[in-house]
Amino acid sequence: MPYNSFTSIIELLGTIAFTISGVFAAMQKRLDLFGVLIMGFVTAIGGGTIRDVLIGVTPVSWMLDLTTLGVIITTGIITVLFKKTVKNLKVTLFFFDALGLGLFTVIGMQKGVAKNLHPVICVALGTITGCFGGVIRDILLNQIPMIFRRKEIYATACIIGGVIYWLSLVWLDERLAQTIAVIVICTIRIVAVKLNWKLPAV
């Protein structure tokens, strides 16, 4: 399988996982059907949209290709219709979500590189891409964003993965560095949840 299709598939899985996370959060707050679909949508595209706006890549990515919108709406409707079945896929969804986090972060970094931004800023962009969909979801649902209060290793995984990506580039080619970064982020996230790692409260 060529590298690009591989990336696209993982990105698709990430989009699906992020959409479902938004849909479930919205159903918990008893929104109506439209609200639930919109919440799935902003969770999936929010991070990338903020990134694109901040670096001036407009129209933002989801406007240039109907695939993303189609995947999100389909996922949203299926999730609403089969909510019990989807809920049972909890572990599967968690893996998609971790994979999506890793890949969204790497995609975000690449967009920064394409704009000739400093590596540190690229890591910030990657983290924004991976995390800020969930931030917008939580703001719209009127709660303090989860990544700031759950003391979980989430954004931290993106930052570590981003740094490792840049360090790898010294010895390895770009594709390999990207693959390593995705694996690192994904692994940190999964291990952190399994072992219940937390950031210190201050």
Q: Which residues bind a second copy (CB under 8 A)?
A: 26-27, 29-36, 38-39, 49, 53-56, 58-60, 63-64, 66, 69, 80, 83, 115, 117-118, 120-121, 124-125, 135, 139-145, 147-151, 155-156, 198-202
> Are the C-beta atoms of residues 101 and 130 closer than 8 Å to each other?
yes
Rounded to a whole number of angstroms, the minimum distance from the CB of residue 102 to a second copy is 18
Residue 78 CB, nearest approach to a second copy (Å)? 12
- 40 CB contacts (<8 Å, ≥6 apart)? 19, 20, 22, 23, 26, 72, 75, 76, 79
Q: Is the CB of 10 or the CB of 37 nearer to a second copy?
A: 37
State residue 173 phi and psi, 5-degree precision.
Answer: -80, 165
Smaller CB distance to a second copy: residue 145 or 172?
145
* Rounded Cα distance, 109 and 115, in Å: 10
Nearest-approach distance from CB 180 to a second copy, in angstroms: 23
Instruction: Choose between 1 and 202: whose C-beta lies nearer to a second copy.
Output: 202
Please report how close the Cβ of residue 20 comes to a second copy at its closest, in angstroms: 13
Residue 16: is it exposed, middle or buried by C-beta count within 10 angstroms (0-12/13-18/19+)?
Answer: buried
Please, which residue, 93 or 125, has the CB nearer to a second copy? 125
CB of 56 to a second copy, least distance (A): 3
Residue 194 tokens read as 């399994």
Quote the Cα angle for 2-109-23, to 5°: 85
Q: Distance (Å, rounded) from C-alpha 194 to C-alpha 6?
A: 27
> Which residue number, 10 or 135, has a Cβ lying nearer to a second copy?
135
Residues 6+ apart with CB under 8 A from 186: 98, 99, 101, 102
Nearest CB to a second copy, comparing residues 122 and 182: 122
Closest distance of CB 148 from a second copy, Å: 3
List residues bridging with 198 in a β-sheet.
152
